[in-house]
Amino acid sequence: MDITIRIGGEAGQGLQFIGSVLARIFSRNGLHVFSHQDYMSRIRGGHNFYQIRVADHPVRASKNRIDILLALDENTILVHRDNLRAAGVIIHDSAMTGQEHDEADFLHIPFLEMTEKAGVTRQMANAAAIGAILGVLGLDLDLFPETIRDFLANQGNEVVASNLAIAQMGWEYSHSNGWPESLKFSPANRKGLMLINGNQAVGFGALVSGCRFLSAYPMTPSTGIMIYLAGKAEEYKIIVEQAEDEIAAINMALGASFGGVRAMTTTSGGGFALMAEGLSLAGMAELPLVIAEVQRPGPATGLPTRTEQGDLLFVLHCGHGEFPKVLFTPGTPGQAISLTNKAFELAEKYQVQVIIQSDQFLADSEWTYEETHDCFLNYNDYRDRSENSGEEEYKRFALTENGVSPLAVPGLSTRLVVVDSDEHDEEGHIIEDSETRNKMVAKRLLRKMPLLQEEIAPPEYYGHDNPTLLLVGYGSTYGIMHEAVDELADEVNIALLHFSEVWPFPVAKDYDFMAAVSRAELAVCVENNATGQFARLIRAETGFLFKASIRKYDGRPFLLEPFLGEVDELLGQV
Partner 1 sequence: MSFLDKFKGQKPAWCPGCGNFAILNVLKRLFTEMELDPSEITIVSGIGQGAKTPHYTKCNTFNGLHGRTLPVATGIALANNKTHVIAIAGDGDCYGEGGNHLLHAMRRNINITLFVHNNQVYGLTKGQASPTSMPSLQSKTQPFGNPSEPLNPLALAIAMNCSFVARAFAGASGLPQLQELMKKALEHKGFAMIDILQNCVTFNKINTFHWYKERTYRLEENYDPGDRISAFSRSLEWGDKIPLGLFYKNERPVMEDNYPMLKEGCLAAMEFDQKEVFHREMVKFF
Q: Which residues bind ligand TPP (CB under 6 A)?
A: 217-219, 246, 270-271, 274, 301
Q: What is the DSSP string of 112-130?
A: HHHHHHHT--GGGHHHHHH
Question: How far from chain centre, in Å, is Cα 389?
Answer: 45
> Per rule CB under 8 A, is residue 553 in the interface with a second copy?
yes
**How many alpha carbons fall within 13 Å on the CB side of residue 435?**
2
Site stretch for a second copy (CB under 8 A), options 101-109, 120-128, 161-169, 268-276: 268-276
Range 40-59, binding partner 1 (CB under 8 A): 40-46
30 or 270, CB closer to ligand TPP?
Answer: 270
Q: Which of 253, 496, 537, 567 binds a second copy (CB under 8 A)?
A: 537
- For a second copy, the binding residue among 198, 302, 330, 403 (CB under 8 A) is 302
Q: Please, are residues 483 and 366 in contact by the beta-carbon 8 Å criterion?
A: no
The DSSP 8-state label assigned to residue 397 in this structure reads T
Asked if 282 and 353 count as a contact pair (C-beta separation under 8 A), the reply is yes
Q: Nearest-5° angle of CA 302, CA 304, CA 309?
A: 70
Of the candidate residues 300, 491, 510, 572, the single one contacting partner 1 (CB under 8 A): 300
Residue ranges in 219-278 that form contacts with partner 1 under rule CB under 8 A:
219-220, 223, 226-227, 230-234, 236-245, 247-249, 251-261, 263, 270, 277-278
Decide: is 131 part of the binding site for a second copy (CB under 8 A): no
State the nearest-atom distance from the C-beta of 258 to partner 1, in Å: 5
For residue 20, the one-letter residue type is: S
- Cα dist from 34 to 4, 31, 376, whole Å: 9, 10, 23
DSSP string, 6-38: EEEEEETSSHHHHHHHHHHHHHHTT-EEEEEEE
Say which entry of partner 1, ligand TPP, a second copy, none residue 492 contacts (CB below 5 to 8 A, set by partner kind). Answer: none
The answer to whether 52 touches 70, Cβ cutoff 8 Å, is: no
Strands, E assignment, 62-210: 66-71, 84-92, 106-108, 194-197
To partner 1, the closest distance from the beta carbon of 158 in angstroms equals 20
Strand partners, 408: 384
386 binds partner 1 (CB under 8 A): no
Among 15, 23, 28, 534, binds partner 1 (CB under 8 A): 28
Least distance between a second copy and beta carbon 22 (Å): 25
CA distance 453 to 533: 21
Q: Which of 190, 429, 509, 547 binds partner 1 (CB under 8 A)?
A: 429
Size of the site for partner 1 (CB under 8 A): 92
**Backbone region of residue 366 per phi and psi (left: phi > 0; alpha: psi in -120 to 50; beta: other values):** beta
409 binds partner 1 (CB under 8 A): yes
The interface region with a second copy, picked from 235-243, 264-272, 360-368, 408-416 by CB under 8 A, is: 264-272
The H or E element containing residue 470 is strand 469-474
Q: How close are the terminal C-alpha atoms of the chain, in Å?
A: 33
Is position 402 an interface residue for partner 1 (rule: CB under 8 A)? no
Q: Which of 441, 433, 354, 434 lies closest to 397 in space, CA to CA?
A: 441
Strand partners, 55: 2, 32
| 366-369 and 262-267 beta bridge pairing | unpaired
554 binds, among ligand TPP, a second copy, partner 1, none (CB under 5 to 8 A by kind): a second copy
Q: Does 445 bind partner 1 (CB under 8 A)?
A: no
Minimum distance from CB of 274 to ligand TPP (Å)?
6
Per partner kind, with CB cut-offs from 5 to 8 A, the member of partner 1, ligand TPP, a second copy, none near residue 303 is a second copy
CB of 246 to a second copy, least distance (A): 9
The least distance separating partner 1 from the CB of residue 413, rounded to whole angstroms, comes to 7
User: What is the C-alpha separation between 287 and 405, in angstroms, rounded?
Assistant: 11
Supply the minimum distance, in Å, between the C-beta of residue 35 and partner 1: 14
**Residue 181 CB, nearest distance to partner 1 (Å)?**
29
Q: In angstroms, give the least distance from the CB of 437 to ligand TPP.
A: 18
Task: Using CB under 8 A, pick the residue from 159, 165, 303, 570 that binds a second copy.
Answer: 303
What is the amino acid identity at position 303?
L
Residues that bind a second copy (CB under 8 A): 40-41, 46, 247, 268-270, 272-274, 276-277, 279-281, 283-285, 295, 297-304, 306, 308, 310-311, 313-314, 316-323, 420-423, 432, 434-435, 437-438, 441, 445-446, 529-531, 533, 536-537, 539-540, 543, 545, 553-556
